[in-house]
Amino acid sequence: MEESEHRRRIRTVEPLAVVRRTVQSASRVEAGALIAGAVAAALGFLGGLAVAWGRRLPLSGIDSLGEYVAIGGALLSAAGFVAGYLVQGRSGGSRYAQRTGRPARILDVTALTLTHAALVVMLATGVFFVLQEAFIGATLYTLPSALIAGGVGAVTAYYGYLSASAIDAASVANLLAVFLVGGVLTSMLNADDPHWWEANISALGIARGFSGYSFTVTVVLGGIILTTLARFIGGELDEWGRGRGPATARGIRLTTWALIAIGVCLIGVGLVPVDLSEPVHNTFATGMVLVYVALVVGLRWLLPGFPNAFLIAGYGFLVIIAVSALLFIPFGYYNLTAVELIASALIFTWLIVFIRNITASAKDREHAGP
């Protein structure tokens, strides 16, 4: 009787201890993020004073407040992300950290840092452009410019720190999707040829101006982030497949390498534009599609026991992509750009849903017990 009571108390105390540690950890993360934001606010304010001292700055354009805030915010966001990773992110002992070597982790953190910085540049530039259009001819004195720079610096560093402290497969997938959409839209809006879409989306990479460079950087960095995401997914699959046998472990490795291969192909698409070598560019693009199709079809055997609803949804995605391709060739209803956009949207939707299913399956197994 006493032993039974003792066990009951242990079962009651253990969840409370876990909750208490979680709350304390969350409080420490918030405290660290606030400190990072405060330091960034001071640095941003001082930087704003330096660039705006004794003059009035326009909101957007060359030598404008928007330009300086975008650069400063990007640097402070990157610093906040690195600080959050060093203080919080790498101490979690996740499966990702256990299965990923130091060189790969350094590459991943570098790519994620650059992605956060690039997102800040795109967002700040867009916001200040809209503000300039709303307040045509408006300029700001030194003190308001410095205050805005400090505020933007605080927000970007704060969220950069929080992002690093809670990095996982889902957050990397969301970051990748937002970055690719933002980068490609930036390239579209700045394209020298307004009719680029009549050819295909790769036409954006042909331009030698800002549009071409932004498209190339977006695709290459997006490919690197996709390899990072593959390693995070592999870590979460390790947790899902624990105790399922060597066949499942082998399937997890193959799944991870397939996702890495898709990322490498995306890097190749960006590094080798159509005008440099169309056969090589098309080889990378075709390889990316073939690996994705093989992964979706083979997932049932690679990951036995994975939710059937997701597997069926994956087949449905392939059917939609195939139908859109048929509407391009031979019917000519769509052009190639439309097919590429549809396929890209479905592939990233599949990735995000894939991650959610991994997490849900792992939680179900954890709650079910041994």
Residue 196 burial (CB count, 10 A) = 20
Q: How many angstroms separate the CA atoms of 180 and 222, rounded?
A: 6
For 341-358, letters b (16+ CB in 10 Å) and e give ebbbebbbebbebbbebb
Q: Which residue has the tokens 């031979």?
A: 330
Q: How many angstroms separate the CA atoms of 74 and 96, rounded?
A: 27
Q: How many angstroms separate the CA atoms of 140 and 148, rounded?
A: 10
Q: How many angstroms separate the CA atoms of 33 and 161, rounded?
A: 5
Partners of residue 57 on adjacent β-strands: 140
- Would you write out the chain's pLDDT as a tens digit for each of its 370 residues? 444 554 454 444 444 444 344 444 778 889 999 999 999 999 999 999 999 998 999 999 889 999 999 999 999 999 999 999 988 766 444 677 777 788 888 999 999 999 999 999 999 999 999 999 999 989 999 999 999 999 999 999 999 999 998 888 889 999 999 999 999 998 888 888 888 887 778 888 887 778 888 899 999 999 999 999 999 999 889 888 888 888 899 999 999 999 999 999 999 999 998 888 888 988 998 999 999 999 999 999 999 989 999 999 999 999 999 998 898 887 777 788 888 889 889 998 999 999 989 888 877 665 555 5
Instruction: With beta carbons less than 8 A apart as the criterion, state whether 180 and 215 touch.
Output: no
- Chain centre to alpha carbon of residue 87: 21
